[in-house]
Amino acid sequence: MSNALPSEGMDMVSRQLLRQLKDILGSDGLLSDPADLVGYAGDAAGGLPEVLPDVVVLPTQTEQISRILTLASAHRVPVYPRGAGTNLSGGVVPLEGGIVLCTVRMDRIRRLDPVDMYAVVEPGVVIEDLNRRAGEHGLLYPPDPGSVATATMGGSVAEGSGGLRGLKYGVTRDYVLGLEVVLADGRVVRVGGRTIKNVTGYDLVRLFVGSEGTLGVITEITVRLIPAPEASATFLATFDDLGRAGRAVADIVGAGVLPATLEIMDDYTLACVEEHAALGLPTDAAALLLIEVDGPRETVEIEAATVEEVCARAGARSVQRARDRAERDRLWAARRAALPALARRRPVTILEDITVPRSKVAEMLTFIREIAARYGLEIGTFGHAGDGNLHPTILVDEIDDRVEAAVRALVGRALALGGTLSGEHGIGMAKAPFLVEELGREGVALTSTIKRALDPLNILNPGKFPGRWRG
Ligand SMILES: Cc1cc2nc3c(=O)[nH]c(=O)nc-3n(C[C@H](O)[C@H](O)[C@H](O)COP(=O)(O)OP(=O)(O)OC[C@H]3O[C@@H](n4cnc5c(N)ncnc54)[C@H](O)[C@@H]3O)c2cc1C
């Protein structure tokens, strides 16, 4: 049974509009039966309301999307772009009802050029599928959010997603070369191109990357690919003290090694993962670091030795190197299980996404502990420690004042330490109330000016940033 609320503006989609949409999409490209709409009321974010859309459209071509947006503008009906719905900030919740525009049927890799090293994909391509194809040519598309097996390219570009390889390889925005976008009034624009160098005009590609479906619908994406690394070495470093694990993070990079992955898991998360997946992790440890270095074989061996040495010097109880593919897979499975394992603990999961400079990771980890104790909350922390990107995850039966105070304190401290309130999960609904604290009034005003210029009728993903959603 779904708890999704009917939208306040229920029946925004008139019979006439529904008929017009059917004409564009055919009957198999549109869902309007309430039972079919339930799956489009929310996303992977916890603790946020879900709202039923009036209709879901599943286009297969840019031209259909252009016609849908032209109609939506004429009828003043909100449109909520959606990929796989795995985002963690309430980004696809159709707060005002209307149309959910889901791009999963646009799932073709249109071109993969191994010489110029780029790929052109439709927005519904699943990230892992692109990497499977790139791998056939010895190439790699590095951005890899924990959801790679389901998340779409369109959703990850619109979210500006990060992932586990961010420290060495950067994030989604570092790989997008060009986009085709349908604007709110139905116009189709192309921005960027397919070359690495391109400084013609404003950087409109970066404007749309991370715009969370508020400025246009992305219908084609050109991304840069890189040669896949020749070799890698994966380590599990076990610590009896959380602060020491945090310091080891800064020490590894300080020693001149830039690991592809440098992830942290605290004892609470570790216990949840072990309970969930029984991978044989040391549950008596205070924290684990999962470290992977990659590159040419010789360099990997030099960096591997440095990682072992630095971890030992930082006070690691043990540093274990994966001996083969199976062991490496087991360690990765542990990391990827962190969020699902935590989410099983309590009915409500509040996943934070604060990011601080790497040198402040240890301080932030200590502060998270203080907050858990101060408000009597269960908080498990994991994340991309090498990027300073931590996911303290609050687990409760229901949201109360303690949770709100804790979130406010965590965000406040991250900003005070020179960080950001969202490293990779975006603003959506979850972080909208805090936007002004990071951007300031002038920054929010500038954001609103851009939004009004591209979407004057406010039909694209309304109610999210730079709007004023308040829970
Ligand atoms: C278990 C798990 C692990 C995760 N790990 C990570 C991680 O390590 N790093 C990370 O960054 N994220 C992570 N995420 C979050 C999430 O997976 C990513 O943000 C993902 O890239 C979103 O893709 P999606 O297809 O699900 O997009 P959706 O959730 O459907 O949409 C995301 C946003 O993009 C907009 N959008 C979608 N498609 C389009 C389009 N074609 N045009 C314009 N706007 C569009 C939506 O309106 C929404 O605002 C994780 C999520 C889960 C559930």
pLDDT tens for the chain, residues 1 to 471: 456 766 654 467 889 999 999 999 998 999 999 999 999 999 999 889 999 999 999 999 999 999 999 999 999 999 999 999 999 999 999 999 999 999 999 999 999 999 999 999 999 999 999 999 999 999 999 999 999 999 999 999 999 999 999 999 999 999 999 999 999 999 999 999 999 999 999 999 999 999 999 999 999 999 999 999 999 999 999 999 998 998 999 999 999 999 999 999 999 999 999 998 888 899 999 999 999 999 999 999 999 999 999 999 999 999 999 999 999 999 988 888 999 999 999 999 999 999 999 999 999 999 999 999 999 999 999 999 999 999 999 999 999 999 999 999 999 999 999 999 999 999 999 898 899 999 999 999 999 999 999 999 999 999 987 865 444
Q: Return the pLDDT at 12.
A: 75
> Do residues 307 and 249 both lie within one domain?
yes
Q: Return the pLDDT at 6.
A: 61
> Do residues 233 and 147 both lie within one domain?
no
> Does the beta carbon of 60 sit less than 6 angstroms from any atom of ligand 1?
no
Among 227, 254, 281, residue at a domain's last position = 227
> Do residues 136 and 210 both lie within one domain?
yes
The torsion defined by the Cα of 378, 353, 216 and 30, in degrees rounded to 10, comes to -30
Cβ neighbours of residue 270 under 8 Å, at least 6 residues apart? Answer: 281, 282, 283, 285, 287, 288
The domain tally of the chain equals 4
Q: Return the pLDDT at 11.
A: 66
| Distance of CA 430 from the midpoint of ligand 1 (Å) | 14
- Give the residue numbers spanning the domain of 55: 5-102
Q: Which of 281, 267, 263 is nearest to 146 (CA)?
A: 263
Q: Is residue 438 exposed (0-12), middle (13-18) or buried (19+ Cβ within 10 Å)?
A: middle
Is residue 124 in a domain?
yes
Query: How confident is the model over 263-297, as pLDDT tens digits?
Result: 999 999 999 999 988 888 999 999 999 999 999 99
Among 33, 68, 102, residue at a domain's last position = 102
Q: Return the pLDDT at 27.
A: 85
| Distance of CA 426 from the midpoint of ligand 1 (Å) | 9
pTM above 0.85, yes or no: yes
Beta bridge partners of 191: 179
State the Cα–Cα distance between residues 244 and 286, nearest whole angstrom.
10
Residue 325: CATH number of its domain = 3.30.70.2190
* Residue with CA nearest ligand 1 atom 44: 213
> Do residues 246 and 333 both lie within one domain?
yes
Cβ neighbours of residue 33 under 8 Å, at least 6 residues apart? Answer: none
| Distance of CA 68 from the midpoint of ligand 1 (Å) | 22
Cβ neighbours of residue 299 under 8 Å, at least 6 residues apart? Answer: none
Query: How confident is the model over 304-359, as pLDDT tens digits?
Result: 999 999 999 999 999 999 999 999 999 988 888 999 999 999 999 999 999 999 99
> Do residues 406 and 377 both lie within one domain?
yes
Residue 307 CA from chain centroid, whole number = 28
> Do residues 113 and 223 both lie within one domain?
yes
DSSP strand pairing (139-140 vs 118-121) = unpaired
Q: Return the pLDDT at 141.
A: 98
Look at the block and give the residue holding tokens 């309970």: 275
> Does the beta carbon of 82 sit less than 6 angstroms from any atom of ligand 1?
yes
> Do residues 351 and 331 both lie within one domain?
no
> Does the beta carbon of 84 sit less than 6 angstroms from any atom of ligand 1?
yes
Cβ atoms of 446 and 456 within 8 Å: the answer is: no
